[in-house]
A and B are shown apart, each in its own frame.
Chain A
């Protein structure tokens, strides 16, 4: 009796175990290696940028400014931090939308603004400045439609305040549908007619080299507007420059 006779069956047994383990491994489907484009990682990031777009004949179409922008290749979406989107139209007041966060879908079909969304439509000669405040706004730029199902507060100088729980705003045929218990407060037209005579149109005053703050004082808008104006980030300077250039094109 010697040592070898005991060792032989053990070795045989180990070999068999190894064999079954190997067969089991090869039968398994290959486990997925972390594929690069499955991960949701941005491929380019922009900080504090301002993009300006003009239409075919060079007139200013829109300005998009944001603190940070991340573009994701896997679903071709774009994330924005504190975006501000300003849309200009020929001899129509500009519309400006601000939010804490924004999302642009892959083909730019839908643009979403989230958290403290403020829409400002500049005053025009017959209507005061209109401001819409909500927590969420989904925009379809091509159809010029903006939709929200969150509570909305619409204020229009001089004293109109409207509360609602949902809104569909169609800029092209200029209709606004409000849902949920709507509460509206207007000045009676007879008063607004008298008031309209006195209050100067609140479009920015004659262009001057002044800083934007002076520009804010020049337009006769409520103190609330100056507060938001003061809080604006640095891009207000070229904002005002663009507006001046746009309002008074070179003769």
Chain B
């Protein structure tokens, strides 16, 4: 949701290392970041601030618990969720990148891939498959796999009852 950008950021972690000189802070241990409706969880979160003050964050998960993010979508009370071994968020370009065994769920539609990129400004997404070694239970062949639900007609507009 756009309004999230101006909301304060709350962070929880087991330990933090802040390096003022390099303007980076590394949060480790069951990290939870919340900003408005955006929630990011992971084992380790590295926040880097560039010269203009934009913040770039990288969240690392581990094979058992990948890092996840969840955010309410603009205007709709649907949620967008995603997970991957590594999630990178580029503050300046407002771009999210999910790496290895990644999936993104938007409302009821879900897409699996080895690399998923979503550019919020340009409303543009890109998913790349990873071949056999990127196999996950959802995509045994490691190729991109998307499940898109038929859009239910808004109830009551016409007689047909959506299944």
Give the B-binding residues of A (Cβ under 8 A): 159, 162, 164, 173-193
A176 to B20, CA, bound (A): 8
**Is B161 an interface position by the 8 A CB rule?**
no
Could you say which residues of chain A place their CB within 8 Å of the CB of B10?
Answer: 183-185
- Selected contact of B35 from candidates A164, A179, A182, A188, CB within 8 Å: A188
Q: Is B78's CB within 8 Å of the partner chain A?
A: no
Q: Does the CB pair A188–B15 fall under 8 Å?
A: no
Query: How many chain B residues touch A (Cβ–Cβ < 8 Å)?
Result: 24
Can you list 14 A-B pairs with a CB-CB distance of less than 8 A?
A164-B16, A174-B19, A175-B20, A175-B21, A176-B16, A176-B18, A178-B16, A180-B14, A182-B16, A182-B27, A184-B11, A187-B8, A192-B53, A193-B53
Say which residue of A174, A179, A187, A191 sits within 8 Å of B20 (CB atoms): A174
How far, in Å, is B139 (CB) from chain A's closest CB?
35
Query: A173-B21, A178-B15 known; A188 and B8 CB under 8 Å?
Result: yes
Could you list which residues of chain B lie within 8 angstroms of chain A, going by C-beta atoms?
5-21, 27, 35, 49, 53-55, 91
A176 touches B6 (CB 8 A): no
Please determine whether A175 and B18 come into contact, CB atoms closer than 8 angstroms: yes
B59 → chain A, closest Cβ, in Å? 15
Beta-carbon contact of A189 and B54 below 8 Å: yes
Contacts of A187 in B (CB 8 A): 8-9
Whether the pair B12, A183 counts as a contact (CB closer than 8 A) is yes
Given A174-B19, A177-B18, A188-B8, 10 more pairs with CB closer than 8 A: A173-B21, A176-B17, A178-B15, A179-B14, A180-B15, A183-B11, A185-B9, A188-B6, A189-B49, A189-B91
* Chain B contacts for A191, CB-based, 8 A: 6, 8
Q: Which of B5, B18, B53, B54 gathers the greatest number of chain A CB atoms within 10 Å? A: B18
Main secondary structure of the interface of B (DSSP, over half): strand
**Residues of chain A with a CB closer than 8 A to B27's CB:** 182
Q: A159–B6 contact, CB under 8 A?
A: no
The one of B7, B12, B16, B17 that contacts A188, using a Cβ cutoff of 8 Å: B7
Nearest-neighbor residue (CB-CB) of B30 within chain A = A181
The CA of A189 and the CA of B52, in the complex, are separated in Å by: 10
Q: What is the CA–CA distance of A181 and B11 in the complex, to the nearest angstrom?
A: 10
Pair A190/B17 contact, Cβ less than 8 Å = no
Bound Cα distance from A174 to B24, whole angstroms = 11
The smallest beta-carbon distance between A151 and chain B, in angstroms, is 14
Tell me, in angstroms, the Cα distance from A186 to B53 when the chains sit together.
13
In the complex, the chain B residue whose C-beta lies closest to that of A173 is: B21
- A182 to B25 CA separation, bound complex (whole angstroms): 13
* B8 cross-chain contacts in A, Cβ below 8 A: 159, 185-188, 191
Complex Cα spacing A193 to B16, Å: 24
Complex interface: chain B residues within 8 A of A189 (CB): 49, 53-55, 91
Contact A186 B15 (CB under 8 A): no
> In angstroms, how far is the closest chain B Cβ from the Cβ of A121?
11
CB distance from A67 to the nearest CB of B (A): 33
| Complex Cα spacing A186 to B34, Å | 11
By beta carbon, the residue of chain A nearest B14 is A181
CA distance A164 to B12 in the complex (A): 10
Q: Which 6 A-B pairs have the closest CB atoms?
A: A174-B20, A184-B11, A178-B16, A176-B18, A174-B21, A186-B9
Please give, as numbers and ranges, the residues of chain B lying within 8 Å of A183 by CB-CB distance.
Answer: 10-12
Among residues of B, the one whose C-beta sits closest to the C-beta of A189 is B53
Given contacts A185-B10, A188-B7, A189-B91, whether A179 and B18 have CB atoms under 8 Å apart is: no
A156 to chain B, nearest CB (A): 11
How far apart sit A162 and B15, CA to CA, in the bound complex (Å)?
A: 12
Hey, which chain A residues are within 8 Å of B12, CB to CB?
A: 181-184
From A176, A180, A181, A184, name the one whose CB has the most chain B CB atoms within 10 angstroms.
A184
Chain A residues lying within 8 Å of B21, measured Cβ to Cβ, are 173-175
